[in-house]
Amino acid sequence: MTTTDSTIPHDAAMGARKVLLQVRDLRVSYGGIQAVKGVDFEVREGELVSLIGSNGAGKTTTMKAITGTLPLAGGEIDYLGASIRGKGAWDLVHQGLAMVPEGRGVFARMTIVENLQMGAYIRNDKAGIAADIERVFTTFPRLKERRDQLAGTMSGGEQQMLAMGRALMCRPRVLLLDEPSMGLSPLMVDKIFEVIADVSRQGMTVLLVEQNASRALQIADRGYVMESGIITMSGGGREMLHDPRVRAAYLGE
């Protein structure tokens, strides 16, 4: 006998959740050139949504528009039910939008602990911050071992862990990850995806941008494919993973 919960398809359960991020007909330009040409998608509370697509598709540009670091040329982005227009990146971080950028962006000349403390710069609850640093260390034991090492001397994978840990230190509502597996060894890629899945299982809402389509769809509730500035496919993570068009275009089959 199965419980009621486990008989509800994942999609249906997620469908009832509150929409945290709603992107409608988003357009973003660099000078006169449109990089994002009318994109629609949404992220609901507790979901892990993967946005996949090849080089230059417009994934990072979309992330930057969501976090208030690039202006919208058209369309709308609602976060927590209100437009992000006119809000700067700072405002949005305060409202719980945390992004781990492509290339990680750790503070190279600071130690691991100092980087994590920087992640909590919007908070002033000392005890809570200390407790959260310990939680990050539980998630990433490697960081604990090296807590006083300068971030710039760590491996790419370790820096990715630190960048994720630092983003979690501001207790985000939504975690945005831009190509977390880029340039990492297969073993480190495994570890990073394990952690993303873990963080998601603990209830975090995650928008994951990845070129590693297979791994990103394996852990996703839903996925979107972006090509040349538009969304060309969308669906459940598993469903997309088995879609012959996705497999041909992004999984090398």
Ligand X SMILES: Nc1ncnc2c1ncn2[C@@H]1O[C@H](COP(=O)(O)OP(=O)(O)OP(=O)(O)O)[C@@H](O)[C@H]1O
Q: Cβ closer to ligand X: 61 or 139?
A: 61
Cα–Cα distance measured from residue 207 to residue 194, given in angstroms and rounded to the nearest whole number: 15
- In the window 157-216, what residues touch ligand X (CB under 6 A)? 211
Task: Please choose, out of 37-45, 52-60, 110-118, 184-192, the segment that lies near ligand X by the rule CB under 6 A.
Answer: 52-60
Q: Give the dihedral sign, CA 95/104/211/200.
A: negative
**Please, which residue, 178 or 221, has the CB nearer to ligand X?**
178
| Binding map of ligand X across residues 67-106, x = CB under 6 A, - = no contact | -----------------------------------x----
Is residue 183 within 8 A of residue 152, CB to CB? The reply is no
Nearer to Mg ion, 59 or 222 (CB): 59
Any residues with CB less than 8 A from the CB of 144 and at least 6 apart, and which? 137
Which of 34, 60, 111, 211 is in the footprint of Mg ion by CB under 5 A?
60
CB of 209 to ligand X, least distance (A): 7
**73 and 27 Cβ atoms separated by less than 8 Å:** yes
236: partner contacted, choices ligand X, Mg ion, none (Cβ within 5-8 A by kind): none
Write the Ramachandran bin of 28: left for phi over 0, alpha for psi from -120 to 50, otherwise beta: beta
- If binding is defined by CB under 6 A, does position 60 make contact with ligand X? yes
Counting contacts by CB under 5 A, is residue 22 touching Mg ion? Answer: no
Would you say how long the chain is, in residues? 253
Token digits of residue 247: 């497999």
Examine residue 55 and tell whether it contacts ligand X (CB under 6 A): yes
DSSP strand pairing (48-52 vs 222-227): parallel
Strands 174-178 and 205-210: parallel
Q: Give the interface with Mg ion as residue ranges (CB under 5 A).
A: 59-60
Q: Give the interface with ligand X as residue ranges (CB under 6 A).
A: 30, 35, 53, 55-61, 102, 211
